[in-house]
A and B are shown apart, each in its own frame.
Chain A
Amino acid sequence: MRLTPDEIIFWQHEPFKLNATIAFTWALMLVMVVGSKLITRRLSAGLHRSRWQNFLEIIVVGIEKQIAEVGLSRPRQYLGFLGTLFLFVAFASLCTVIPGYEPPTGSLSTTAALALCVMVAVPFFGIAEQGLAAYFRSYVEPTFIMLPFNIISEISRTLALAVRLFGNMMSGAMIIAILLTITPFIFPIVMSALGLLTGMVQAYIFSILAAVYIAAATRTREPKAERAASP
């Protein structure tokens, strides 16, 4: 039984190795890029819109609203990153209905890569919002003793992000694989449907946590400013 798509090797030429994780990751990205290009090619600003456009607008507006609800005052600034993150993880889970497909999010390499992107994005947006000095000053607040703890916090939450998504996706795939060997009919279908739901929930959790981390990084100085403003 395969535990991760890393074990499926499509092509190998030392030192290069093309496994299922990389292949499906890039395939998903390619499909999403081509799909978005096709959908956005015939966008209409009028009253008559295609179903695809309506669907796309619902998704975009929904993500924007979610980001705003997390507490980010300018959700559009983060929509590109957080929206893409959500759509990628969700699409990777949805494609599990395709026979032969292995979700790349079932590989720790992919989830760690996504978590690494979040880890880079958090200070990126924090510095963009507050400035370099103000952002790094937040690491030594309220005292400089907090610096190692804040650094550990940054690393641990990145690890938690990666492992949470990987664990959920891998466990789902494992449960389905085990059930297939025990009861090959009907029950694995139910579990696959449940796996789709779990995948969507994980995509939502991953994106919302990323939004929360970004919100925390961009609002570090706000309480002080509020205190100064209050009489």
Chain B
Amino acid sequence: MEFVTPNLTNLLTTAVGFILFVWVLAKFAWGPILTLLDQRRDAIQGDYAAAEKNLEEAEQLRGEFESKLHDIKVIEREKVQEAVKRGEGLAASIVAKANEDAVQKVAKAEEDIELETQQAQLVLRDSVVAMAIGAAEKVIGERLDDQLHRRLIQEYIDSIGPGSAPHA
């Protein structure tokens, strides 16, 4: 049963050796590896933080762009409304000018009609006078003094007024 009895020398040698072994590995293996893992963890956390920051900046830029886009749309709408107003004003002024022109033309036409009417009345009156003289000469058979005759007819015509001229 010697194999189930630990050799004290072996036991102590191994124990001391193992403690030294733990110390050496802690110095040459665990330390550097853990430092490395920490460095990598820090680097990953740094990258993650940078990515988060970039995402935040991107979100902020997006917000700014959306705000600017909204402003641009507002300005665009205002300009369209302004253009519509200007167009409406222009159309109104054109219509007003056209109306004015039309009124002027109507007035001028009425004036022309009046002049033509007056001229026609004069011509008609002269014609009526001439016919009346001719008819009177045939009726009385003698030639009246032309100047007197005309005066009499004129007085007659004047007495019945200008509106009665076409009927005479």
Q: Which residues in A have some Cβ–Cβ distance to B below 8 Å?
A: 3-4, 6-7, 17, 19, 21-22, 25-26, 29, 32-33, 36-37, 39-40, 43, 45, 56-57, 60-61, 76, 79-81, 83-85, 87-88, 104, 107-110, 112-114, 116-117, 162, 170
Complex contacts, A117 vs chain B, CB 8 Å: 15, 18-19, 22
Do A113 and B11 touch across chains, with their CB atoms under 8 A apart? yes
Q: How far is the CB of A171 from chain B (nearest CB, A)?
A: 12
Q: Which residues in B have some Cβ–Cβ distance to A below 8 Å?
A: 2-7, 9-15, 17-19, 21-22, 24-26, 28-30, 32-34, 36-37, 39-40, 43
Q: How distant is the Cα of A56 from the Cα of B36 in the complex, in angstroms?
A: 12
Q: How distant is the Cα of A43 from the Cα of B40 in the complex, in angstroms?
A: 11
Among A4, A29, A61, A112, the residue within 8 A (CB) of B17 is A29
Do A37 and B14 touch across chains, with their CB atoms under 8 A apart? no
Given contacts A33-B24, A80-B30, A109-B7, contact A57 B37 (CB under 8 A): yes
Among A26, A84, A107, the residue within 8 A (CB) of B25 is A84
Do B11 and A112 touch across chains, with their CB atoms under 8 A apart? yes
Q: How distant is the Cα of A107 from the Cα of B11 in the complex, in angstroms?
A: 10
Complex contacts, B3 vs chain A, CB 8 Å: 3-4, 6-7, 108, 170
Q: How distant is the Cα of A113 from the Cα of B6 in the complex, in angstroms?
A: 9
Among A43, A57, A85, A110, the residue within 8 A (CB) of B14 is A110
Given contacts A45-B39, A109-B11, contact A76 B34 (CB under 8 A): yes
Q: How far is the CB of A16 from chain B (nearest CB, A)?
A: 9
Q: How far is the CB of B29 from chain A (nearest CB, A)?
A: 4
Q: How far is the CB of B48 from chain A (nearest CB, A)?
A: 15
Complex contacts, B21 vs chain A, CB 8 Å: 29, 32-33, 84, 88
Do A25 and B22 touch across chains, with their CB atoms under 8 A apart? no
Given contacts A45-B36, A84-B21, A108-B5, contact A40 B10 (CB under 8 A): no
Do A60 and B33 touch across chains, with their CB atoms under 8 A apart? yes
> 3 closest pairs, A vs B, by CB?
A109-B10, A113-B14, A36-B29
Q: How far is the CB of B153 from chain A (nearest CB, A)?
A: 130
Q: How far is the CB of A4 from chain B (nearest CB, A)?
A: 4
Do A57 and B33 touch across chains, with their CB atoms under 8 A apart? yes
Complex contacts, A29 vs chain B, CB 8 Å: 17-18, 21
Complex contacts, B36 vs chain A, CB 8 Å: 43, 45, 57
- B19, B25, B39, B40: residue with the most chain A Cβ atoms closer than 10 Å: B25
